């Protein structure tokens, strides 16, 4: 699998052959994999004729890959993507979404805390006309410190992003295929998937799900993730608000700064002409020049950002819009 790309795999199997794909990032979860795979198989076999489970081994060092290889040999519907190193949860989810062949894609954690029995409920909610259904762990079975930090982070996300969800951090989500393929996850961006999809015009819903205690292995979450997540939050917020018009924000700041500098300069000149003030004893002229220079820098940054974003969209062959339906004379 290391030498294959997602497009190679999708050329071998037509996506319509798979009803449901389940994507599970794995990092040192050896003790949880077999029980979880058995639960998944039981749920999926009872609900769907054609399904697949994609475990993405994110550089595990505890023997997780050996267990995954055994599971694949026992059932080829259980597929394994193995990374060359530890790249993080967002890249692991991104790879799984790229390789997934199903018309519906579900993501979930591999630590056993997400309940596979909730999958049909999320898929049923999709059928009501949504593009993404996110799990809400209303009764979380986590340590107090983790619950507090998650609550704080969720409040920040709501304040910055405006997406009305109770639980941004739940990996258990269901997507229609277009939404699943319309994401590029890096850093800690998996926490902001609903906001990213909502920004692109997809319809988002939330369903309460079961949250179970961890029975094996150790949690991978720690306070060190908070500053990284906050920086990604600022990044998502900026892209959501200004990615199509960066000159508006940088240019606006530039005009404001140059305006303040110009007023300070005029005031300094007025003091010199009317009161014969000794401007060498005040920082007013320096402040005026500094603010004008900062304003010019902001304005130039806006122009460069605008050029960069247009180049980014051109390089990725990406349009600044998403089409939902097309009606023409042939339909």
pLDDT in tens, 28-39: 999 999 999 999
Q: Which long-range contacts (CB under 8 A, 24 or more apart) does 208-211 make?
A: 208/135, 208/136, 208/138, 209/114, 209/115, 209/118, 209/121, 209/122, 209/135, 209/136, 209/137, 209/170, 209/172, 210/115, 210/117, 210/118, 211/113, 211/114, 211/115, 211/137, 211/139, 211/140, 211/141, 211/142
Question: Whole-angstrom Cα distance, residue 54 to residue 52?
Answer: 6
Query: Does the structure show a pLDDT above 50 at 15?
Result: no
Angle at 134 between CA 129 and CA 138, to 5 degrees: 125
pLDDT range class, residue 71, cuts 50, 70, 90: very high
Q: Which pLDDT value is given to residue 1?
A: 44
* pLDDT (mean) for 198-221: 83
pLDDT range class, residue 61, cuts 50, 70, 90: very high
* pLDDT (mean) for 59-84: 93
Q: Which pLDDT value is given to residue 189?
A: 73
* pLDDT (mean) for 168-181: 90
The 10s digit of each residue's pLDDT in 217-274 is: 676 665 556 666 666 667 666 766 666 677 777 888 899 999 999 999 998 888 888 8
Q: Which pLDDT value is given to residue 185?
A: 77
The 10s digit of each residue's pLDDT in 269-323 is: 888 888 777 877 788 889 999 999 999 998 888 888 777 766 766 666 655 555 5
Question: Whole-angstrom Cα distance, residue 231 to residue 160?
Answer: 12
């Amino acid at each position: 699998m290391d030498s294959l790309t997602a497009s190679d795999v999708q050329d071998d199997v037509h996506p319509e052959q798979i009803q449901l794909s389940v994507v599970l990032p794995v990092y040192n979860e050896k003790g949880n994999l077999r029980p979880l795979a058995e639960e998944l198989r039981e749920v999926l076999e009872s609900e769907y004729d054609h399904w697949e489970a994609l475990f993405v081994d994110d550089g595990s060092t505890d023997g997780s890959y050996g267990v995954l290889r055994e599971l694949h040999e026992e059932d080829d519907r259980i597929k394994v993507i193995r990374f060359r190193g530890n790249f993080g949860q967002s890249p692991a989810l991104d790879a799984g979404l790229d390789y997934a062949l199903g018309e519906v894609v579900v993501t979930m954690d591999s630590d056993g805390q997400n309940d596979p029995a909730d999958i049909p409920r999320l898929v049923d909610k999709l059928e009501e006309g949504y593009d993404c259904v996110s799990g809400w762990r209303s009764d979380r079975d986590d340590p107090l410190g983790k619950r507090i930090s998650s609550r704080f982070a969720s409040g920040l996300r709501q304040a910055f992003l405006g997406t009305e969800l109770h639980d941004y951090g739940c990996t258990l989500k269901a997507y229609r295929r277009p939404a699943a393929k319309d994401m590029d996850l890096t850093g800690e961006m998996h926490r902001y998937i609903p906001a990213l999809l909502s920004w692109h015009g997809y319809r988002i819903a939330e369903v309460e799900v079961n949250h179970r205690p961890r029975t094996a292995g150790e949690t991978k979450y720690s306070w060190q993730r908070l500053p990284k997540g906050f920086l990604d939050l600022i990044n998502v917020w900026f892209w959501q608000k200004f990615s199509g018009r960066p000159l508006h924000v940088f240019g606006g700041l530039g005009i404001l700064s140059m305006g303040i500098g110009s007023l300070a300069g005029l005031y300094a000149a007025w003091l010199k002409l009317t009161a014969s003030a000794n401007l060498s004893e005040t920082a007013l002229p320096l402040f005026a020049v500094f603010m004008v220079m900062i304003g010019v820098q902001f304005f130039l940054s806006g122009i460069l950002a605008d050029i960069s974003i247009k180049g980014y969209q051109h390089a990725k062959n990406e349009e600044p819009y998403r089409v939902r339906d097309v009606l023409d004379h042939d339909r």
